[in-house]
């Protein structure tokens, strides 16, 4: 059975004191759930967050990592650095990394390979832009993102992959894919993986939806059979909203 997951992507928000405050509030209010709950503060607060959550079931995950083992990559963070502070999952390929930091499918393929070789679970993000959807190319774009970054992996590697389908037009815009649009794309993604690998791989991978998930729309989106949870941006910065979204799953 694939996992249900609710993950908060805090992006470049919250200093250390704010991080500790939000985590204390989240820990106090965390509902009973079978879902995995994750939070992703910025790099400099990962250590503080892992300490604050030492006795919690909430997992601290990274927003990114570099593909190289170590070396002259000013400003970057390696897989071993994450492992060294107890962070075992990394978001890779977020659309903001693709759009603002030039991360191409080829770079992302290298990051995924490094993460998996280090036993870092990979939350791989992908999704089409508005013009792709308007021109009817959204399935093609999503298929090529998957193919270019993930389809040279062995089937066994997929047990360490979580997918986050995030249509770019719905991120931070208040626009959400309708539950039907999310289900349609998630079913397409699963079918594409089944065709490339097999149904065991396709049925085993958790596919999260991301893009303006809020307390008011989470339950309906999560009720769709191929939606296994959410990657939450803005609403994960407010404890009551994030808790409501966790309850919705």
Contact predicate 148/109, CB 8 Å: yes
Residue 138 among the catalytic residues: no
Stretch that binds ligand PGA, among 39-47, 149-157, 164-172, 215-223 (CB under 6 A): 164-172
Is residue 171 within the footprint of ligand PGA (CB under 6 A)?
Answer: yes
Is residue 41 within the footprint of ligand PGA (CB under 6 A)?
Answer: no
Is residue 211 within the footprint of ligand PGA (CB under 6 A)?
Answer: yes
Is residue 212 within the footprint of ligand PGA (CB under 6 A)?
Answer: yes
Report the distance separating Cα 57 and Cα 33, nearest Å: 10
Is residue 38 within the footprint of ligand PGA (CB under 6 A)?
Answer: no
- Report, in Å, the least distance between residue 194 CB and ligand PGA: 26
Contact predicate 7/61, CB 8 Å: yes
Catalytic residue, from 36, 59, 66, 94: name it. Answer: 94
Tokens found for residue 61: 């995950």
Tokens found for residue 16: 């250390």
Is residue 210 within the footprint of ligand PGA (CB under 6 A)?
Answer: yes
Which of 238, 219, 213, 249 lies closest to 29, judged by CA?
A: 238
Helices (H), ranges, 68-126 = 79-84, 95-101, 105-117
Is residue 232 within the footprint of ligand PGA (CB under 6 A)?
Answer: yes
Beta carbon nearer to ligand PGA, 194 or 238: 238
Residue 180 among the catalytic residues: no
Is residue 8 within the footprint of ligand PGA (CB under 6 A)?
Answer: no
Main-chain phi, psi angles of 247, to 5 degrees: -65, -30
Q: Which helix (H) or strand (E) holds 196?
A: helix 179-196
Beta carbon nearer to ligand PGA, 77 or 238: 238
Residue count, binding to ligand PGA (CB under 6 A): 13
Is residue 9 within the footprint of ligand PGA (CB under 6 A)?
Answer: yes
Mark residue 18 as left, alpha or beta (left: phi above 0; alpha: psi -120 to 50; beta: remaining).
alpha
Site residues (vs ligand PGA, CB under 6 A): 9, 166, 171-172, 210-213, 231-235
């Amino acid at each position: 059975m694939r996992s249900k997951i609710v993950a908060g992507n805090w992006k470049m928000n919250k200093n250390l004191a704010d991080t500790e405050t939000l985590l204390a509030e989240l820990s106090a209010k965390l509902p009973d759930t079978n879902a995995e709950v994750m939070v992703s503060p910025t790099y400099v607060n990962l250590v503080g967050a892992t300490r604050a959550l030492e006795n919690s079931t909430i997992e601290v995950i990274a927003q990114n990592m570099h593909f190289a083992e170590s070396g002259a990559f000013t400003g970057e963070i390696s897989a071993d650095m994450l492992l060294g502070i107890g962070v075992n999952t990394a978001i890779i390929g977020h659309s903001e990394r693709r759009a603002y930091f030039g991360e191409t499918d080829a770079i992302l393929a290298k990051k995924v390979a490094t993460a998996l070789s280090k036993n870092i679970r990979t939350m791989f993000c992908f999704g089409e832009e508005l013009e792709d959807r308007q021109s009817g190319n959204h399935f093609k774009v999503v298929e090529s993102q998957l193919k270019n970054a993930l389809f040279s992996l062995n089937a066994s590697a997929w047990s360490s992959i979580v997918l986050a389908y995030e249509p770019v037009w719905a991120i931070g815009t208040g626009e959400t894919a309708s539950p039907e649009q999310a289900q349609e794309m998630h079913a397409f993604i699963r079918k594409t993986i089944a065709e490339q690998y097999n149904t065991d791989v396709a049925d085993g991978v958790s596919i999260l939806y991301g893009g303006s998930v809020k307390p008011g729309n989470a339950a309906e989106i999560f009720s769709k059979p191929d939606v296994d949870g959410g990657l939450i941006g803005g609403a994960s910065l407010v404890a009551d909203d994030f808790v409501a979204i966790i309850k919705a799953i």
